Amino acid sequence: MPDGFIPPHGNYKKLISYQKAEIIYDATFRFCERFLKKGDRTIDQMVQAARSGKQNIIEGTHASGTSKETEIKLLNVARASLYELLADYEDFLRVHGFELWAKDSKQARFVRNLSKGNGKQPADYESFREFIETRQADVVSNIVICLIHQATYLLRHQIRRAEQDFLNQGGIRERMMRSRFDARRRGNKDDGPPKGYR
């Protein structure tokens, strides 16, 4: 067990889920700039959903050291926000009569390969800039839809891992009790487990 009862946490930038969410936010911002009319209420809704997906990963990661419950709740909010954004992109394609790429289409496979990065650096917005800023609306929509599916898949597994961590390690109160008991034992002041310790 590491020193102290608060485990290392907060390094959200290394999370692939966050990296995807950041690309989704940047791409959505550009999409709205390029293809939606100024004053369209959908702009605020889409940008805020994309931002919520990104920001709740940050907040959940920082909360994870002291509250798995808060971490799980915020990661679920991030995932729900991205699903809301997914519906907006799918609606855009449908009402404009555009095609939604099949999961195993050549285009979707290209996006998945591009999103892996170059082997040394993870993919970021620069990996997609050429496509997001030059292609037509239907292509950009489908690219972001592919990225959203990747991000929500990763978040689902991240949430499951947080749940398992809670089952294995307990919450902050249990870690505090264990640390207190261990400190007493190391100091030869062990009178047995503190009251309520399990």
Assess contact for 43 and 11: CB atoms under 8 A: no
Residue 7 lies in a domain: no
Residue 1 lies in a domain: no
Whole-structure pTM value: 0.81
Residue 50 lies in a domain: yes
Residue 101 lies in a domain: yes
- Total count of domains within the chain: 1
Residues in the chain: 198
Assess contact for 126 and 132: CB atoms under 8 A: no
Residue-by-residue pLDDT tens, the chain, 198 positions: 445 444 444 478 999 999 999 999 999 999 999 999 999 999 999 999 999 999 999 999 988 777 788 899 999 999 999 999 999 999 999 999 999 999 999 999 999 999 998 878 899 999 999 999 999 999 999 999 999 999 999 999 999 998 887 776 655 555 555 555 556 667 655 455 555 545
Q: How far is CA 92 from CA 10, 35, 111, 131, 187, in A?
A: 35, 10, 19, 18, 65
Residue 125 lies in a domain: yes
Residue type present at position 83: Y
Residue 135 lies in a domain: yes
Range of 175's domain? Answer: 12-186
Residue 196 lies in a domain: no
Assess contact for 151 and 20: CB atoms under 8 A: yes
Of 32, 27, 46, 29, nearest to 128 (Cα)?
Answer: 27
